[in-house]
Amino acid sequence: MTQSIILTNRDLLFSRWQFWKILLGGILTVMGGAGTVLATAEKGIQEHTLANGLKVVLVEDHWHPLAALAVCYGVGSRYDPAGKQGLAHLLEHLTFRPLGLLHAEEATPTERAGRARATTDHDTTRYNSRLLRAEIGSALTAEAARMATLQISADDLAHEKAIITKERRQLVEGDTWRNLLEEVDSVAFRLHPYRFPTAGWPETLAQISLDDVQRHFAAYYAPGNAVLVVVGDFHTQDLLVRVESTFGQIPARMLPAPSVYVEPAPGGERRVLLAPQGAPRIAYAYHVPAFGSPENAALEVLSTLLADGDQARLSARLYGQHLADAVGIEYSPLNRDPGLFYIKVALGSPADFRLTGEAIDDVLWHLREDGLHPGELEQTKKRLLLDFYLNQSLETQAERSGQYDTLAALPRAEHYADQLQAVTATDVQQAIRAYFFSEDRVVGITGVAHQDEERLHQEGKAR
C-alpha cells in the first residue's frame, strides 16, 4: 500500500516540455535584458511512500522514449566508522557483485551502456541509469535486489579493495589538485568526517572486514533510508505497480540514530604548504553553511560572479595580470552539514604566489566593500540559470531529485530557479561579509615556488 502526494511542478528540473519553454524564456531574457525564465508546467511530480518507508518520486514525461532511474541512499563517507574510512565507497563497489555486474571502473564502454552508474560522496550514495522504456522493469528488479541483500565473499572484498586502491593511485595520488584539496580538507575540519577522503586510504581499507560491510549494508541500505526516482517515458500508475511488486517486499529496517558533529572555531587562518608537485597551485577554502541556509543561493551566484567566464571578477583580474592559467570555483549547497567554498587557481608562469594571493584578496575586498556593478548581478544570474537549464539531462534531473529528497527538501528543488532569481546584490555582499575573511579560511599551496612561499610564511610576511 502506498501513500501519495502530488506536488505542482514549477521548475525545469522535472519537465522536458518545460525545458524548452524555460530555455526560450531564458534566451529572450538574455537578448532583451528583462523578463522571467520561469514557467508553470502542465504536469506535476508524484511522490509516494511505500509501507516499508521507501520514498518514490515519479515524473512522467513522454518527450522521447527514454527514462532515467536513480536510487539515492542517505549514506556516504560521513557515516564511515573511525579508522575504517572508505567503507561507504567500498560498499558501493561491492553491491555490484551479487548482481553479476562489473563496477564502472572495471567495465568496458560497451559493458557500461545502460548500466547503473554509481557515486559516493560525503552524504549520499547514488545509483543512476538511463534506460529505454522496455528496460525500466529489469532496472527496478536489479535495484531492488541491490537493496534487499548483499551476498559477497572474502575474495569479492579483496578484489574491490584492490580496485579502489588502484583508483586512488591513478586518480588522486597522481593529481595535483586532488592531493592539495585533500590536505586542505584535513586542515579545514578538525572533528567532522568531511575532513576524510570519500574513498579512504589503503591503510583504512585494510581494516574493513566482511562483518563491517554487512553491518553497514544492513544499517543504511534500508528502504526507509532511500529515495527511488524515475523520470521520463512511462505511465505513472503502471510503474507504481511495478515498484510496489519489486521493492514493496523488502522488509523495513530500523535506521541508526543520526550523528551530530560540532566543529570548533578555526581560531585564525591556517595554511597547507606542500612540497613541489607538478605545476604551482593555490586553493582558498572558506567555511560556508549547510544545505537549507538562506545564503545557499547567494553563494551559488557568487561562484558564477567570480569565475564563470573570462570576464568574471576573479578570472578577469588574474588573467589580465597574467597571474593565472586557470581559475575555478568548487561549491555545492547539497551538504548535510557546513562545508567549504573553494577558490582554485593554477598559477601562470612565472608563478608569483604573493601577487596572486593579493589579487584574490583584493577582488573579494572590493566585492565586500563596494558591492556589484550596475547590471552585473542580472548578467550573472542569466549565465547561471542558462547553464542550469542546458545541463538538465534526464539523469541529472533524477539524481538531483534524489539528493534533494534525501535532504527532506524535494519541494525546495522545484523552486531552485526562483531562489536564484530572488538573490539581490545585497545578499551577495552580505554572504561575502559573513564567510569570506582570512581568519576563517585555509590556504593550500603547492608547486615549484613552494620554498619561497614557505620562507615568507615563516618570516611572517606571507599574506
E-assigned strand segments in 177-280: 226-232, 270-273
> What would the pLDDT profile of 58-83 be if each residue is shown by its tens digit?
999 888 889 999 999 999 999 999 99
Written as nine digits, the cell of 351 is 608563478
In this structure, the answer to whether residues 100 and 238 fall within a common structural domain is yes
pLDDT of residue 458: 57
Same domain, 237 and 353: no
Q: Is residue 6 part of a domain?
A: no
Q: Are residues 191 and 73 in the same domain?
A: yes
Last residue of a domain, one of 247, 279, 313: 247
pTM: 0.85
Same domain as 86, residue 169: yes
Based on the domain organization, do 407 and 284 belong to the same domain? yes
Cβ–Cβ < 8 Å for 392, 41: no
In this predicted model, what pLDDT tens digit does every residue of 98-142 receive, in sequence order? 887 555 555 444 444 446 799 999 999 999 999 999 999 999 999
Same domain, 135 and 226: yes
Q: Which long-range contacts (CB under 8 A, 24 or more apart) does 263-269 make?
A: 263/189, 263/190, 263/191, 263/192, 263/338, 264/190, 264/191, 266/188, 266/439, 266/440, 266/441, 268/439, 269/438, 269/439, 269/440, 269/441, 269/442, 269/443
In a domain, 256, yes or no: no
307: enclosing H helix or E strand: helix 296-307
Q: How far apart are CA 402 and CA 69, in angstroms?
A: 10
State whether 226 and 294 are in the same domain.
Answer: no
Give residue 272's pLDDT band: very low, low, confident or very high (50, 70, 90): very high
68, with CB counted inside 10 A (0-12, 13-18, 19+), is buried
pLDDT tens across 299-345, in order? 999 999 999 988 899 999 999 999 999 999 999 999 999 999 999 99
Q: Is residue 24 part of a domain?
A: no
* pLDDT of res. 183: 94
Q: pLDDT-based confidence at 39, cuts 50/70/90?
A: very low
User: What's the total number of domains in the chain?
Assistant: 2
Are 122 and 238 part of one and the same domain? yes
Residue 397 has pLDDT above 50, yes or no: yes
| Residues 170, 315 within the same domain | no
Q: Is residue 8 part of a domain?
A: no
**For residue 111, what is the domain's CATH number?**
3.30.830.10
Final residue belonging to a domain, choices 180, 215, 247? 247
pLDDT of the residue at 44? 66
Confidence label for 23 from pLDDT (cuts 50, 70 and 90):
very low
**Judgement on whether residues 281 and 334 belong to the same structural domain of the protein:** yes
Structural domain includes residue 276: yes
Q: Residue 115: what pLDDT?
A: 63
Average pLDDT, the chain: 85
pLDDT at 25: 46
Asked if residue 174 and residue 322 are part of one domain, the reply reads no
pLDDT at 376 exceeding the cut of 60: yes
Kind of pairing between the strands at 441-446 and 270-273 = parallel
Query: Containing domain of residue 275, as a range?
Result: 270-458
Pair (145, 47) in one structural domain: yes
Confidence of residue 460 (pLDDT cuts 50, 70, 90): low
Note whether residue 259 is domain-resident: no
